Structure 1
Amino acid sequence: MTERFAHIGRGVTLAYDQLDSGGVPLVLVGGLGQQIHDWPDGLCELLAARGYEVIRFDNRDAGASTHGDFPPPGPVDFLRKRWHRDQYDLTDLAADTVGMLDALELPSAHLVGMSMGGMIAQTVAARYPSRVDSLTSIMSTTGAARVGRPAWSTWRLMFSRPARDRAEHIDHTVRMYRHISSTGYPFDEPAVRVAAATTWDRDPASAAGVGRQLAGILKSGDRTGELRAVTTPTLILHGDRDLMVAPTGAAATARAIPGARLHTLPGMGHDLPAAAWPTLADLIHDHIRTSEARSTDAPHP
């Protein structure tokens, strides 16, 4: 897949790639600090084999996409919820996603988002319903105060000193993923190291972008009321061992979105282990097939 760039307006350019199978478009929306490659090639290939044109992209402030030119909040700013005047929120990131659809001349697409990407995809479905043929929200939440929160041990890792060089970044990523990964599946440290190295090489200043993205999530607050307006067929996927976004976030999302279906994956944490890719691809594909009344161009088995 060749990396390309979409100029979506408002001074934002997004890096993306696509696996063009000639099928219907399926857009993958990444999570906090994640980049294109955090949607694993193997999972993308499984989705393409099921008849989808798979599109993945770097959100703003990640990878090769446009980065903010203002400082991220410090710890005290986060505690006081004191944001820079230029701080964006999830509605801006949702508008970026719609801008990507516009740049690719796609009237609509199936959206699959994980973690923060699930929040973005939810917001697109709430605010731009005609652009979303189906919604799959993976390991995400509503922003409500008492649900979907990281474990305290995870917060400590999140707010540890930023890496000063490539080697520190790789080691820090391994520590984080060893903590939040799927306990029911093997931990693939070599793959985590390769992905972390790619992240650093594409965006050595990623820590500042992560800070601004996290501020965007917190600035957005509780979106439960907005989610009640979602009419898009919705599937909620979540692992029962998630230490980054507690499973209560999935339950709250399923309650908020009318008709949403919740599927819990035993042993899965806050990652996409290779052994789970076939299951995830099947669940996404089956959900889209059942949404054919809303998305008449969905592929058939």
Structure 2
Amino acid sequence: MGWPDELVEALVDNGRQVIRFDHRDTGLSDAVDFTTHPYALADMAADTAAVLDGHGVTAADIVGISLGAAIGQWLAVHQGARVRTLTAITSSPMGNNPGPAWARAVAGQPAAAGELPPPTARFLNHLTASATAPRATRRQHIDADVQTWRVLNGDVLPFDEAAARRFTERCYARTGNITAALNHDLAGRRFGDDRRAPLSAVTAPTLVVHGSEDVLLPPAHGEALAGQIPGARLEVLPGMGHHPFFSPGLTPRIADLIIRHTTGRQTA
């Protein structure tokens, strides 16, 4: 449910059929014990393919944001026939392991040569502060989550706190185990040869959308992703942070980019 109705309606009004679903460990999907049943990006990609199978869709225009964009990359590399186009928003090459860069940044050490940059100091400081934020009540949990959305929004474009709060409240109402979604972070840290497969194998027309003010994955991540996929187009949106949908005006702009990208495929 992370994709706003405004974006979905814009796509439907332009003739698209939109499928959005709850990943495992979110919303109405099953929650698992990650310790006994760990999973990885490949498993989440298999879930996505299963959803397409359930709807009788052989190939689709895949749009993902952050981890979802990494899932899209995995499909485009390993199941390319299922991906007509790929739109990757605020993401990084799926084979990039950010752990060492994060560790160096937290320790106050300089980045290694050729390493993609860690999150900004603003975001890392927020993580430290958030770790001690009170979460004894549901309201406190929601307040802490809204503050994280604020930081991810960046400091350049306006932040719609009311929209972020409504979204967070719907997430809590929709699931029986809100903390299960933290397993996605654990899954994202699992790296195997499947994730290290070269993105040069991607044949789907690809659009990479990144924000100039992304505090989690600075713009170099989007540049690297576009640079590794043949023919990929990079669109850097001025002022956009890591999560664009709580900044007024960005949702219709992203919808327009998706429409133009997928229409380009259809008319080529």
TM (norm. structure 2) is 0.84
Q: Partner amino acid for 2:119? A: P
How many angstroms does 1:209 deviate by?
2.8
Distance verdict in 2 for CA 1:119–1:65, change over 3 Å: same
How far apart, in 2, do the equivalents of 1:65 and 1:116 lie? 17
Q: Verify the 8 A CA contact 2:126 2:151 in the aligned structure 1.
A: no
Q: Verify the 8 A CA contact 1:121 1:137 in the aligned structure 2.
A: yes
- Whether 1:117 and 2:68 are equivalent positions in the alignment is yes
Q: Verify the 8 A CA contact 2:91 2:217 in the aligned structure 1.
A: yes
Find 1:213's aligned residue among 181, 184, 192: 184
Distance verdict in 2 for CA 1:191–1:116, change over 3 Å: same
Which secondary structure state, in structure 2, belongs to the residue aligned with residue 237 of structure 1?
strand
How many angstroms does 1:207 deviate by?
2.0
How many angstroms does 1:264 deviate by?
0.2
Q: Partner amino acid for 2:32? A: G
Structure having greater relative contact order (Cα 8 Å, sep ≥ 6):
2
Partner of 1:192: 164
Which secondary structure state, in structure 2, belongs to the residue aligned with residue 107 of structure 1?
coil
Equivalent positions of 1:278-289 (< 5 A) are: 278-289=252-263
Partner of 1:53: 17
How far apart, in 2, do the equivalents of 1:182 and 1:152 lie? 12
Q: Verify the 8 A CA contact 1:148 1:250 in the aligned structure 2.
A: no
Deviations 1:4-61 (A, max 9, x none): xxxxxxxxxxxxxxxxxxxxxxxxxxxxxxxx1x211111111111111111111111
- Whether 1:99 and 2:39 are equivalent positions in the alignment is no
Q: Verify the 8 A CA contact 2:31 2:180 in the aligned structure 1.
A: no
Q: Partner amino acid for 1:40? A: P
Contiguous gaps of at least 5 residues in structure 2: 98-114
Partner of 1:147: 116
Contiguous gaps of at least 5 residues in structure 1: 1-35, 72-83, 295-301
Q: Partner amino acid for 1:289? A: T
Count of residues in correspondence between the two structures: 244
How many angstroms does 1:292 deviate by?
2.4
Structure with greater proportional strand content: 1
How many angstroms does 1:166 deviate by?
1.6
Partner of 1:89: 40
- Deviation larger for 119-128 or 222-231: 222-231
Which secondary structure state, in structure 2, belongs to the residue aligned with residue 111 of structure 1?
strand
Partner of 2:111: none
Deviations 1:108-142 (A, max 9, x none): 11110000000011111111111111000000011
Find 2:145's aligned residue among 157, 162, 173: 173
How many angstroms does 1:107 deviate by?
0.9
- Whether 1:62 and 2:26 are equivalent positions in the alignment is yes
Deviations 1:125-174 (A, max 9, x none): 11111111100000001142432642344245447258343201211112
How far apart, in 1, do the equivalents of 2:60 and 2:117 lie? 27
How many angstroms does 1:291 deviate by?
1.5
How far apart, in 2, do the equivalents of 1:164 and 1:204 lie? 17
Q: Verify the 8 A CA contact 1:68 1:209 in the aligned structure 2.
A: no
Which secondary structure state, in structure 2, belongs to the residue aligned with residue 263 of structure 1?
strand
RMSD: 2.1
Q: Partner amino acid for 2:231? A: G
Distance verdict in 2 for CA 1:267–1:126, change over 3 Å: same
How many angstroms does 1:224 deviate by?
5.4
How far apart, in 2, do the equivalents of 1:111 and 1:166 lie? 34
TM (norm. structure 1) is 0.75
- What percentage of residue pairs aligned between the two structures are identical? 37
Partner of 2:232: 260
Which secondary structure state, in structure 2, belongs to the residue aligned with residue 220 of structure 1?
coil
Which secondary structure state, in structure 2, belongs to the residue aligned with residue 235 of structure 1?
strand
Structure with greater proportional helix content: 2
Q: Verify the 8 A CA contact 1:185 1:275 in the aligned structure 2.
A: no
Which secondary structure state, in structure 1, belongs to the residue aligned with residue 231 of structure 2?
coil
